[in-house]
């Protein structure tokens, strides 16, 4: 083993990768809201981590566009980080030439995808607000007690 290597079982390695990697190892937090607040407060380490993440997301979107041979109807951003106007705007600035970028902020992106929301939005069949209404209906039918996501899609 190398001088920095320690013996870890699979569970420890997975925990290191999923719970203490990324933002946590770079900034001490996994909370994107806290991270953006620290960026606004001038924390250089947080700014670098935030910028690097947005850069990597942009690279991934570009890679997918290549694999799809440029036939991209829309780029959909979901999850809690899509609440960040900075993240959404920066991805629009760098990726809108590929396809329109739409944000679906919230925590119910998997339910929306299961309901066909991305395809309906890309084809212009539903607006983001109609998708959010669909997601609300999914939560009610499933008996979820989670709160509704907030924020603007656009």
Q: What is the DSSP letter of 149?
A: P
pLDDT attached to residue 54: 94
C-alpha to C-alpha distance for 48 and 39, rounded to whole angstroms: 9
C-alpha to C-alpha distance for 72 and 102, rounded to whole angstroms: 13
Picking from 89, 93, 76, the residue whose alpha carbon sits closest to that of residue 132 is: 76
pLDDT digits (tens, 9 = 90+) for 42-51: 999 999 999 9
C-alpha to C-alpha distance for 90 and 55, rounded to whole angstroms: 9
Q: 135 or 91, which is more confident?
A: 91
pLDDT digits (tens, 9 = 90+) for 106-140: 766 666 666 655 566 666 655 555 545 444 444 33
Give me the percent of the chain exceeding a pLDDT of 70. Answer: 65
C-alpha to C-alpha distance for 107 and 79, rounded to whole angstroms: 5
**Least confident interval from 21-25, 95-99, 109-113:** 109-113
């Amino acid at each position: 083993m190398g001088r920095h290597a320690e013996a870890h079982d699979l569970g420890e390695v997975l925990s290191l990768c999923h719970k203490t990697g990324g933002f946590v190892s770079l900034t001490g937090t996994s909370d994107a809201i806290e991270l953006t607040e620290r960026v606004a407060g001038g924390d250089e380490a947080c700014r670098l981590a935030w910028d690097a993440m947005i850069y990597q997301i942009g690279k991934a979107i570009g890679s997918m566009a290549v694999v799809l041979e440029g036939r991209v109807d829309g780029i959909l951003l979901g999850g809690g980080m899509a609440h960040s106007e900075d993240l959404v705007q920066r991805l629009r600035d760098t990726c809108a030439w590929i396809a329109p970028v739409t944000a679906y902020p919230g925590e119910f992106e998997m339910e929306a995808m299961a309901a066909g929301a991305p395809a309906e939005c890309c084809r212009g069949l539903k607006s983001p607000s109609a998708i959010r209404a669909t997601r609300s209906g999914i939560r009610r039918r499933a008996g979820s007690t989670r709160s509704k996501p907030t924020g603007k899609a656009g």
